[in-house]
Chain A
């Protein structure tokens, strides 16, 4: 029995601490995927919360056909797609705490994210289906067959989305750099 399965079983027997432990084991990866997909921290945190709320409410529906991590990624991707479809935020709880000054490592987290703003921007501009595939494969290092399960598409489609996503990403990066190399039309006017 895997650690996740053991924790889930204990949670089903009423041990709430096991649920917290499950969260701790997966929350960073789920948050990372949500952030890459949605593009802002508040929405990402909402989506992460919704993902774990789904686990809390529906963990008994988890049939163990895949790993719990795969199941959670799948929930997270569905939640993110839903939010992108609606094109607006759906906060599930007020996130006023984010504005509190006590968060000493916030600045560090944002600084790190800004190390490659051009890449962040290029990734954010990819079609979501490509962005998610690239994120899961190139940033989360998940194997193709697991991504295939998460996205519920054939492995060949996963590979195609990754390839095309990278291609678009490279084009976007080149475009970002181009203005610096070439004078704008206004300069010629």
Chain B
């Protein structure tokens, strides 16, 4: 019994080895039936893959793509900006209830650790509740590991009556915090450097929903830098690097 050297098998299959190195590798692999079978499978797959042609767009597809992007809707004001005056007063309250509803203990979903970005990290626990729309793709049976750990930076923001961003939260234990103090913390200003990603990504948040944005926070989801945007019926998680959607979590 020995550990099969998958790196070596891959190197041989990809023909990255030459000369003596290759000869020795072939000898090693040749002495192990499992390794030989693995090598054959790798070679078969590579041969098949390399026989595929590179897909390209047709002329019509290319024209469609360019035409659709010639006048993108980027200039449209985000809905929350347009509706902010009407929703503003309610938003602060909804933010509190919305966030607490989503980030509450005892749910079936995910661990949430709210931390202070910067030098002083305080870890607190809660659970991001949600049965997980992201898990409903059983049709493909694929590896959509639900976000198991969400770490939100203590930099949530809420919409102020004039539509401007306002407030932040200090590290709070969402499992035990009272709504009142949490609301107060939301109304405090967060230092710019503590909500860079949230501010950046939230500027175009209407890409993903028509709902009014009520709160946003820098976050780490499954160890990846992310942004959490909170709406009335769901929270969405964006890749902090590209501001693209990675997860939707319905409110519990």
Contact = CB atoms under 8 A, between A and B. Distances in A.
Contacts of B246: 78, 81-82
B55 A61 contact: no
A142 interface: no
Contacts of A112: 53, 55
A103 B10 CA distance: 41
A32 B56 CA distance: 7
A52 B55 contact: no
A23 B61 CA distance: 13
Given A102-B60, A166-B41, A170-B42, A78 B245 contact: yes
A52 B62 CA distance: 13
A49 B56 CA distance: 14
Interface residues of B, number: 57
A73 to B, nearest CB: 10
A82 B56 contact: no
Contacts, number: 184
Contact of B56 (A31, A61, A63): A31
Given A52-B69, A54-B242, A86-B137, A138 B57 contact: no
B140 A49 contact: no
A23 B65 contact: yes
A152 to B, nearest CB: 5
Contact of B241 (A53, A74, A100): A74
Contacts of B40: 170
Interface in B57-105: 57-66, 68-69, 72, 74
Nearest to A100: B60
B144 interface: yes
Interface stretch (B106-114, B152-160, B185-193, B200-208): B200-208
Contacts of A65: 241
Contacts of A171: 41
B224 A103 contact: no
Given A45-B65, A81-B246, A97-B64, A61 B201 contact: yes
B243 interface: yes
